[in-house]
Structure 1
Amino acid sequence: MFVAEETPQTHAAPSSRKNDATLEGKVITITGAGSGIGRASAVLMASRKAKLVLVDFNTATGEETLELVRKNGGEAVFVQADVSRSEDVQNYIQKAIETYGKIDVAFNNAGILQKFQPFHEISEEEFSRVIGVNLKGIFFGMKYALQVMEKQGYGHIINTASTTAIRAEHSLAAYTASKHGVAGLTKAAAIEYVRKGIRINAICPGGVATTLTAAVPQSLQESGYVPEEFPNMRIGRYAEPEELAELVAFMASDGSSYMTGSIIVADGGLTL
């Protein structure tokens, strides 16, 4: 392993390692905050003193998360947005700046599933819908957060990809393509901004017990295909959203300060 004799002229490492897990004072945007990993991450990071900008397409569930955060003594605002629309993303980024004056971490987490179906049966509309939210939504979230972070001279972006970012999944071609794209955007941006004090990483959950995945068994039955690993996850169960939230909170903290361009798999052994 090569060890540099002299530290390159770049942003210094954190001066203290004592409180790397704390999020106190950090302003964090979270898309898909109305349920699942987004909601669990919001509640956990608020408990660690982060100030949150909660974003979701569904106003009702987004405001439920806001209420949960506030009931637990956390500080947050909610913004309704369709992440596939550039103007909506710019709006919540602007709301973050107007409310808190900065963005330390952008957690681009919003995503949708596609119907399990053969490649040749995927409609153009379905392909565009999945790519629009899962890939274009990540692109917009990164683009406008990066504009803020470059002016600040620091920041961290965390993207939610999937195990389908590193392997294909049967009957999920559009979803697989979108998540491969998320991994690509993450790595490409990490290279560009690594010397600008900005880090970009992605997490790859496997099966997570959320409202998004609740419909998967029925969709699989309708498609006529059940992957061999589906009935018997290697770790024996789906992840709870709170387990993934712990990973997100760590990534948002200074404890992950030497990580950028990482595609982090947390899948209970699914891809082994």
Structure 2
Amino acid sequence: MTVGLITGAGAGIGRAIALRLAANGMDLALVDIDADAAAETADQVRAAGRRALPIGADVSRAEEVDRAVARAEGELGPVEAFVANAGIEGVVGPIWDYSDDVFEKVWSVNTRGVFLGIKYVSQRMITRGGGAIVVMASTSAIRGREANAGYVSSKHAALGLARVAALDLAPYNIRVNAVLPGPIETRMIRSLFAQHEQRGRTSTPKSARKLGQPEDVAGVVAFLLSDEARHVNGASWVIDGGNTID
């Protein structure tokens, strides 16, 4: 594969994925709501010797997603790999006091953003008869977590979308898999831990004692997009150092 598109590419896991795919020889369209952050990632991809196209876009808006995919294909070539990575954490609070507006915002990015990305990328992949997609879910997609209704429910839905897409797109030689990271050393996880501490949690969550690194996720994503994973479809890859075993 020679051209990929990553949402949420401006920092953290998205940036690590971009650098790993660039090292593997892929040119990249880098989408982020923060255009400056996308441009910083693009500079690093170019420094690795690959073409990079930073695109500022809101993944919750259909017209912006469609335009981003069209621009990527117009300037870099057919998108053969797509990573639906953009996501936000929302706020920490009990469900009876959770903000309606925050809930809707989290779903608009974490779930609607995945749907729109798959929709507009796959429309083009279908015409060419192939491609690979990775959806960034979370271990929150397979277990309950207190005081985070927006994020947890949105990630359950994102995993469901990945499974539906895997079935819908398999006849067109398009593979769709999900990765489910546990706590990874990023701004998002530090924000969540800080919010829990503000609510009075005094003990350190088991998952916080050893955080993964963005590069741990990037390596799995690179594999799932590669020809080595040609027989892997509809799978859910947990990347959490064993935290969900019990």
- TM-score > 0.5, shorter chain as reference: yes
| Matching residue within 20, 45, 49 for 1:44 | 20
Q: What is the match of residue 241 of structure 2?
A: 268
Structure 2 distance, partners of 1:105, 1:209, is 25
| Matching residue within 230, 239, 251 for 2:224 | 251
Structure 1 distance, partners of 2:115, 2:190, is 27
Q: What is the match of residue 155 of structure 2?
A: 179
Structure 2 distance, partners of 1:33, 1:214, is 18
Structure 1 distance, partners of 2:132, 2:24, is 17
Residue segments in structure 2 that go unaligned for 5+ positions in a row: none
Q: What is the match of residue 192 of structure 2?
A: 216
Correspondences of 1:197-216 after superposition (within 5 Å):
197-216=173-192
Structure 2 distance, partners of 1:36, 1:76, is 17
Structure 1 outlier segments of 4+, above 3 Å: none
Q: What is the match of residue 71 of structure 2?
A: 95
Cα-to-partner distance string for 1:145-171 (whole Å, 9 max, x where unaligned): 110111111011100000011111111
Deviation at 1:229, TM superposition (A): 6.7
Cα-to-partner distance string for 1:21-47 (whole Å, 9 max, x where unaligned): xxxx52110011011111011011111
- The question of whether the paired residues in 2 share the 8 Å contact of 1:155 and 1:199 is answered with yes
Higher mean C-alpha deviation, range 138-147 or range 68-77: 68-77
How many residues of Structure 1 are paired with residues of Structure 2 in the alignment?
245
Q: What is the match of residue 10 of structure 2?
A: 34
Correspondences of 1:37-76 after superposition (within 5 Å):
37-76=13-52
Q: What is the match of residue 164 of structure 1?
A: 140
Greater radius of gyration (CA): 1
Q: What is the match of residue 84 of structure 2?
A: 108
- The question of whether the paired residues in 2 share the 8 Å contact of 1:229 and 1:270 is answered with no
Structure 1 distance, partners of 2:160, 2:135, is 11
1:233 matched to 2:202:
no
Structure 2 distance, partners of 1:217, 1:190, is 33
Structure 2 distance, partners of 1:262, 1:223, is 36
Deviation at 1:99, TM superposition (A): 1.4
Greater helix fraction, Structure 1 or Structure 2: 2
Structure 2 distance, partners of 1:43, 1:189, is 26
SS in 2 for 1:214: helix
| Identity level (%) | 36
Residue segments in structure 1 that go unaligned for 5+ positions in a row: 1-24
| Matching residue within 131, 137, 151 for 2:113 | 137
Structure 2 distance, partners of 1:87, 1:45, is 27
Cα-to-partner distance string for 1:194-224 (whole Å, 9 max, x where unaligned): 1210111110000000122222222001223
Structure 2 distance, partners of 1:183, 1:166, is 9
Structure 1 distance, partners of 2:201, 2:171, is 46
SS in 1 for 2:207: coil
Structure 1 distance, partners of 2:243, 2:137, is 15
Q: What is the match of residue 6 of structure 1?
A: none
